[in-house]
Amino acid sequence: MKLVGWILFSAFICYVSFSMGTELGVFIFISIALGILIRCFTLLLDIKTRLAQITKDPDPVRDAYEDYLTEKFKKVDKEV
């Protein structure tokens, strides 16, 4: 229901902005569109930082060490 309200509100703003005249209407419409794009960008950056805190970065040194140990234990098991 909230989405429908925002769609109706934006349609009303677009109607009002274009009825004011060409230059002023386009200015208001573009400023609203740019505001929405900037807000989406900031929300995406916020999501990125939150996900970066949750997930761990892959550690190539730890991965190489674990691969080395598994290979070493496989060789030891084959010899025994």
pLDDT digits (tens, 9 = 90+) for 36-78: 888 888 899 999 999 888 877 777 888 899 999 999 888 877 7
pLDDT digits (tens, 9 = 90+) for 26-43: 887 788 888 888 888 889
Q: Is the dihedral of CA 11, 13, 15, 18 positive or negative?
A: negative
Look up residue 26 and give its two tokens: 């386009």
H or E, element range at 10: helix 2-19
Look up residue 4 and give its two tokens: 């429908």
The whole-angstrom separation of Cα 43 and Cα 36 is 11
